[in-house]
Amino acid sequence: MIVGEQFLLLPGPTPVPERVVRAMTKPVINHRGPEFKQILGEVNEGVKQIYRTRHNVLIYPASGTGALEAAVVNFISPGDRVLAISIGVFGDRFTSIAAEFGALVEKIDFPWGQAADPEIIKEKLGADVNHEIKAVLITHNETSTGVCNDIKSIRQAAGDHPALFLIDAVSSLAAADLYMDKWNLDVVVSGSQKAFMIPPGLSFMAFNDKALQVYTQSRNHKYYWDVGKGLNFLEKGQTPFTPPVSLYYGLQEALHIMQEEGLENIITRHMNYRHMVREAVKEMGLKLLAADENASPALTSVIAPPELGANRIRQAMKEEFNIVMAGGQQRLDDVIFRIGHLGYVRELDLLSVLAALEIILVKLGFELKTGTGVKKAQEILLQTHKNA
Amino acid sequence: MIVGEQFLLLPGPTPVPERVVRAMTKPVINHRGPEFKQILGEVNEGVKQIYRTRHNVLIYPASGTGALEAAVVNFISPGDRVLAISIGVFGDRFTSIAAEFGALVEKIDFPWGQAADPEIIKEKLGADVNHEIKAVLITHNETSTGVCNDIKSIRQAAGDHPALFLIDAVSSLAAADLYMDKWNLDVVVSGSQKAFMIPPGLSFMAFNDKALQVYTQSRNHKYYWDVGKGLNFLEKGQTPFTPPVSLYYGLQEALHIMQEEGLENIITRHMNYRHMVREAVKEMGLKLLAADENASPALTSVIAPPELGANRIRQAMKEEFNIVMAGGQQRLDDVIFRIGHLGYVRELDLLSVLAALEIILVKLGFELKTGTGVKKAQEILLQTHKNA
């Protein structure tokens, strides 16, 4: 029996701060009354700040995938030509949703572990001189591989092609830089159980006026996800359907915490985590799936030594230290393990996890001098603290 | 400033037991691990007991309306003829969802405040000799009016017509009797924030093999609500998309509480509440919207004295006692107020609320001897306690 709770190092759900847990215990109130109206107004404004947008944000009682479906049914119509960019499992999912709802999807797959090449997207859209492509779907942070797409460059590469840009930022928002308005992104989806540090159950969708214009012409059936309904009720300070009030309390408190730390600082912290984990793991003699320039600030995918296997390492970490790390999905199963460093994670947590990982690697017979990676992480942290 | 928290007397969300609140504070765990698998298995079995079914149950991260949409997109196809029975706002909503997703809906409206007449449904289905009607939509407990449809008789009246019966039991399940299997109901939808006593954010859908057969032929687009995905993951002890883990903890504990009380006792308790509230309110000289034989065990709709107006009474109850009651919706606005007696509500709570209501009525100038209704409630409770 290991002392203490399961230590979540997943790229979502992520650990929840005690302040958020306590906020969630407040009594449930009338969701059509003035108190909830105040909360809804406050959290909507707070989420907008995280999106760096002045446009519309709706909060859905749903998983992140629900908000991806919302993006598709509101802004894409059956028969629309859609360009889908996939660099992994979640890119594939966004593609599948669009196809299920009748879009004619042309999909560009980049190799798993790599980022999308803006040049290829530029060529593709450049060749579409009649502007038949109505939407571009792309994942910001691909959680299955730990690769972050360069959304800013991709958006710029599109030039003045009028297609809507729909971004899956479920696991990136508030971990990687994203400027919805400045970068001219039309629809951006995110979720609560990632950098927002609250339990799963809420998802967010922001959309600009260009997207809203497309919505008025959209021909997919919709009711639960209908942004028209959402906006009408938001104007009254309500939601169309009963909101998960407890999670709203949690979101309200999480936004307070985020405002105290400051969005720039939060993003810098995630970048530092990325650097520290990657350099430490390299120093241990392990390989990383993603190249430095595209690596995710939310999680690091480590290629396990083939003679050990990723799942054996994960199992030992769970059994001996109660640390829960994600494995690889589909073709990456047993090939990689993924270290989440997203949301409510401290430098201390990562130091201890890297130390535990070394212990497990050595115990499983991997050639490694205990402390090698941890020392590297310490040196990097020392530098961070000197600069602070 | 009133001492104490807002006292929710809504027909949902309803008060949450402290045990459930505490359970929800447990640390979020990996939703793809063995611990969550155990919880999912347990709560799925527990919800089935409440449904009195041996068939499939799926739990959605969504409001009740989400599960209504799930019922429509999985079991109704565009062009299907559908018979929708409406006795109020939520019957209208179920109808709207079916129409939005392409069903050819024939709607029978019964006057608000009355229940659906099984004879009329019998005639309607009897006339459909070619079995063109593919589904019947009906609300069990109509929350907007406080009327409970006699689902058992309606189902029997349908005889051997092969249409699927889709039941909105969002606010009735575990408050009013419902035997999914014995009554031969095909699809039954419910929600967490009602008699299940947990905060909003989860909804349930049970469906039998006949419905599952229809699903395999269904032609509506679906992804988030797709029961095929749900069942595949359930077999592995998982959910297709990240589940609201905290609400699952709450559900697990709420089901323990419900099992301790016993489903029969829970339903009897709600029937007793209905009787006590109705008789007390009648004794105060107020009129009720629903007749005794169709009155809801979940809430009581009271017709306000026109010279006072329902909203003035609600406002005074809120300002002076911090009691939150629902008003009337649409054409019933300011005509009725609704006293919820659903879920985690005690006899004591209702005694005090009835007493407060009398105080407000007298203060607002209504002709009433203070204590009249409370005395009636006490007499009824005395009888209940003698029989216990």
The pLDDT score that the predictor gives to residue A5 is 82
Quote the CA–CA distance of B74 and B88 in Å, as a whole number: 24
Q: What is the mean pLDDT of residues B265-281?
A: 98
For residues B263 and B95, what is the distance between their CA atoms, to the nearest angstrom? 30
Top-tier CATH class for B7-13+263-387: alpha beta
Which residues neighbour A265 within 8 Å (Cβ) at sequence distance 6 or greater? none
Q: Which of A38, A63, A94 to mutate to test the interface with B (most CBs of B within 10 A)?
A: A63
State the residue for tokens 């004794």.
B283
The token pair at A12 is 């979502």
**pLDDT of the residue at B388:** 81
Residue B247 in contact with partner chain A when CB distance is under 8 A:
yes
Judged by CB atoms closer than 8 Å, whether chains meet at A21 and B21 is answered as: no
Mean pLDDT of B376-382: 97
Query: In this prediction, what percent of chain B has a pLDDT beyond 90?
Result: 97
Q: Where in chain A is the domain with CATH 3.90.1150.10?
A: 7-13+263-387
CB of A280 less than 8 A from some CB of B = no
pLDDT tens digits, one per residue of B300-329:
999 999 999 999 999 999 999 999 999 999
Q: Is the distance from CB of A5 to CB of B27 less than 8 angstroms?
A: yes
Residues B364, B359: Cα–Cα separation, whole Å: 9
User: What does each of the 388 residues of chain A score in pLDDT, given as a tens digit?
Assistant: 677 788 889 988 999 999 999 999 999 999 999 999 999 999 999 999 999 999 999 999 999 999 999 999 999 999 999 999 999 999 999 999 999 999 999 999 999 999 999 999 999 999 999 999 999 999 999 999 999 999 999 999 999 999 999 999 999 999 999 999 999 999 999 999 999 999 999 999 999 999 999 999 999 999 999 999 999 999 999 999 999 999 999 999 999 999 999 999 999 999 999 999 999 999 999 999 999 999 999 999 999 999 999 999 999 999 999 999 999 999 999 999 999 999 999 999 999 999 999 999 999 999 999 999 999 999 999 999 998 8
pLDDT at position B1, please?
A: 62
Interface residue A205 vs chain B (CB under 8 A): no
Choose which CATH entry (2.40.50.140, 3.30.70.360, 3.40.50.1820, 3.40.640.10) describes domain B18-260: 3.40.640.10
Residues carrying CATH 3.40.640.10, chain A: 18-260
Per-residue pLDDT, B280: 98
CA distance A1 to A35: 45
Q: Is the pLDDT of residue B115 over 80?
A: yes
Helices in chain B by DSSP H: which ranges? Answer: 18-23, 34-51, 64-75, 89-100, 118-127, 151-157, 209-217, 227-235, 245-261, 263-283, 310-321, 347-363, 372-387
Find which of B100, B241, B253, B299 to mutate to test the A interface (most A CBs within 10 Å of its CB). B241
Question: Tokens 């109704």 map to which residue?
Answer: B76
C-alpha separations of A85 from A80, A108, A109, A207, B311 in Å: 16, 5, 6, 20, 53
Q: How many beta-carbon pairs below 8 A join chains A and B?
A: 169
Nearest to B281 by CA among B325, B220, B235: B325
Ramachandran area for residue B124 (φ above 0: left; ψ -120 to 50: alpha; else beta)? alpha
Q: Kindly list the residues from chain B whose CB atom is less than 8 angstroms away from the CB atom of residue A193.
A: 28, 242
Average pLDDT over residues B44-59: 98
State whether residue B101 sits within 8 Å of chain A by CB: yes
Which residue, among B63, B92, B333, would best test binding to A if mutated, counting the most A CBs under 10 Å from its CB?
Answer: B63
Residue A2's pLDDT is what?
73
The answer, for A98 touching chain B at a CB cutoff of 8 Å, is no
Residue A388 Cα, gap to closest chain B Cα (Å): 32
User: What mean pLDDT value characterizes chain B?
Assistant: 97
Q: Is the pLDDT of residue B52 over 90?
A: yes
| pLDDT tens per residue, range B137-147 | 999 999 999 99
Count the Cβ atoms, other than its own, within 10 Å of residue B135. Answer: 25
DSSP A127: H
Supply the pTM of this predicted model.
Answer: 0.96
